[in-house]
Structure 1
Amino acid sequence: MMKNSLRTLAGFLLAILLIFAALWVIFPKAQDRFGAVKKTSASKTLIYTALGDSLTEGVGDATGQGGFVPLFAKNIENGTNDSVVSQNFGKAGDTSTQIYNRMLKQEKIQAGLKKADIITITVGGNDVLKVIRDNVTKLSTMREKDFVKPEAAYQKRVKKLLDTIRKDNPKAQIYVLGIYNPFYINFPDLTVMQNVIDDWNQATKEVIAKENKVYFVPINDLLYKGTGTTQAVEADSSSSSVENNLLYTGDHFHPNNTGYQIMANAAYASYEKVNK
C-alpha cells in the first residue's frame, strides 16, 4: 500500500512538472516590466542652437554664461529625461539684416542650425532702435506712423531668415522671442514707444503664424514693468527716480539674471506646451 501511495505521488509530481514544461514552451517569457519602462523613457540628446542679438549673447548676465540660453536648456533637462547640448550664436547690436548676413557667412552657424532639434531666435529690438537712430534729428516729433514702413520691411527679413533656416532644417522647433520696452518705468507716458513695441511683436507673430513648427514667445508683459509689489526699485534713496528691477543696472536696458530666468521660463512654457 505504501508503494502504491509513493507511485501515485510520484506520478502526480511528474504530471505537474510536465504541465509546467508545456506551459513554458507554449507561452513566451514575460518581459521585464522595469526594463520596458526604462527603454520607453530613455533620455535622448537634443541639439539646441541659439541665434540672435544681445539677448541671445546674454549681455547683462552677471555669470557671463549666456543669459537665457543655458537656463532654457537646463529647464528642458529638468522637465524631461533628455540632455541638451547648446550652441550660442548671439551677437550684441545685430539687427535682423546683420543676423541673416552673419548666418550666411559663418559655416559654424549654418552647421549648428542644420543639426539643431531646437532653435531660439531673438531679433527685432535693434531694428526698432535703428529706426530711432535714423530719425534722431526729429525724435521729438516721431509718431507711430514713422515705424510702419520699417516694420513691413522687418517682416520680410524675418520671413527670409526663417525660410533660409528651413531649407537645411525642416524639422527643428523654432522659438522666436518677442521684444520688450526697457524705457517704460522711466517714461510711462511715452505711449508711442509701447505701441511700437506691441506693433512690432504683432508683426513678428503674423510672420510666424504662417510657418510650420515656429512659435512666438512673448516677453514684453513679463519684463517691461519689473516685478514685485512695487514693480520697480528706487535707483537712489536720495532721489525719486526708479528703475526696472528686471534689468541690468549697468545699462538699464538688457535683462539681469532674474530677467533672463523669466525669459527662459517663458521659452520653456512654450516648449512644454508644444511637446506635451
Structure 2
Amino acid sequence: MKSTRTLWRTVGGAALLATLLLIVGLVYAVADVINPKPAEWARPPDTPPAEQTKSSIDIVALGDSLTVGTGDVTGKGYVQRVREKLAALTKKQVNVIGNYAVNGNRTDGLLAALQNKSGIPYGIEKADVVLFTMGGNDLFAIGQDVMNSQSEQLDPAMVRVRLPEPLKRLEQIMAKLAELNPRAKIVYVGVYNPFYDIPDMRPATVYVQEWNDEAFRIASRYPNMAVVPTIDLFQLNIGKYMYSDHFHPNGEGYERIADRVVQALE
C-alpha cells in the first residue's frame, strides 16, 4: 500500500514538472514570436566598407588626345567634366591625381608606359577610378597606311585586315590595368568614326564598331571594368559635337562623353 502511494506521488510529481516545463516553453515561444531577435546576417557590420568611409575620390586618366582634351577650348575635356559631375553627385572631394594622356598616343605607346616601372603604374595603384581612351590613332593611322593608290580613297576592307594587332595590345593594356588595381573602377571610352559624314569613310564605321565590340568582350572578364560607347553620339551629330579639326570632340562633345562616364560610375 505504501509503495503504491509512493508510486502515485512520483507519477504526479513528474506530470506536474512536465506541465510546468511545457508552460515555460510556451511562454518563451510566444515571447520570441512577439519580440523576435534579429538574425545574425541582418546585423549591420561593425565597420562600413572602405569606399563608404573615404571622403574623397582619386582619378587617374591615361590614353591619347581625347583624354588630353584636345578640341575643347575650355581645356576641361571629358576628364575634368567627370571630376566636376562626380563631385556634385557624391558630395565628395574628387581629385585628378594624374593625367598621363599623350597626343597621338597609340596602343604600343600606352602598353610600354604601363610595363615601365615608372610613376604611371604607381598612380594607377593609388586611384579609385581609372579613365582611358585608346584606339583612334591606331585605327585611323592604319587608314592612312592603306590608301588605295589608284583612287586615293580609304579601303575599309584593308582597315579590317589590320585590326588584330592593336586589338591584341588593347587586351594586354586592359589586363595590365586590372592587375595594377583590381579594386578601382576602370572605364574605357570607346572609339567613334569622326569621318562618318564623308561618304567614302562611312563604311569604316563597321570596323570601328568591331573594335568596340571586342573591347566589350575583353572588359567583361574583369568585374571592375566597363566600356562606355560613344560611336552613336557622333554618328548623326558630327557637326554639333566635333571640333574644327574633324577628328576631336568640341566642348559639347566632351560634355556628352562625360555624362556617359558618370552614368557608368554611378
Q: Under TM normalisation by the shorter chain, which class is it?
A: 0.7 to 0.9
| Sequence identity percentage | 28
Matched, 1:114 2:108: no
Give, as a single letter, the amino acid of the residue that structure 2 aligns with 1:270.
Answer: A
1:255 matches 2:213: no
Evaluate the alpha carbon distance shift between residue 133 and residue 142 of structure 1 in structure 2; reply closer, same or farther with a 3 A threshold: closer
Q: Provide structure 2 residue ranges, at least 5 long, that are not aligned to the other structure.
A: 1-50
CA offsets per residue over residues 81-112 of structure 1, 9 Å max, x none? 22211121111111111111133347221111
Tell me the secondary structure at the aligned position of residue 270 of structure 1: helix
Distance in 2, Cα, partners of 1:256 & 1:104: 32
Verify: 1:157 aligned to 2:169, yes or no. Answer: yes
Aligned with residue 59 of structure 1, among 64, 70, 73: 70
Q: Check conservation: 1:180, 1:197, Cα contact below 8 A.
A: yes
Aligned partners of 1:151 and 1:203 also within 8 Å: no
Tell me the distance in 1 between the aligned counterparts of 2:196 and 2:140: 15
Q: In the aligned structure 2, how far is the partner of 1:48 from the partner of 1:202?
A: 25
Check conservation: 2:107, 2:138, Cα contact below 8 A: yes
CA distance in 2, matches of 1:263, 1:106: 31
- Given the alignment, which residue of 76, 80, 84 partners 1:74? 84
Q: How many aligned positions are there?
A: 214
- Between the aligned partners of 1:69 and 1:107, the Cα distance in structure 2 is 22
Q: What is the 5 A alignment of 1:20-99?
A: 44-65=55-76, 67-86=77-96, 87-99=98-110
Partner AA of 1:118 in structure 2: V
Q: Distance in 2 between matches of 1:149 and 1:170?
A: 33
Rg larger for:
2
3-state secondary structure, aligned to 1:181: coil
RMSD, matched Cα: 2.2
**What per-residue deviation string (whole Å, max 9, x for no partner) do you get for residues 241-261 of structure 1?**
xxx121112x12211111111
Distance apart, 1:142 and its partner CA = 5.1
Deviation at 1:50, TM superposition (A): 0.6
User: Does 1:206 pair with 2:201?
Assistant: no
Distance 1:164 1:104 in 2: 8
Gap runs ≥5 in structure 1: 1-39, 227-231, 233-243
Determine the structure 1 residue equivalent to 2:259: 265
Taking structure 2 as the reference length, the TM-score comes to 0.74
Deviations 1:26-57 (A, max 9, x none): xxxxxxxxxxxxxx987621111011100000
Out of 178, 182, 193, which is 2:204 matched to?
193
Q: Which runs of 4+ in 1 moved over 6 A?
A: 40-43
SS at 1:245's partner residue?
helix
Q: Does 1:246 find its partner at 2:241? A: yes
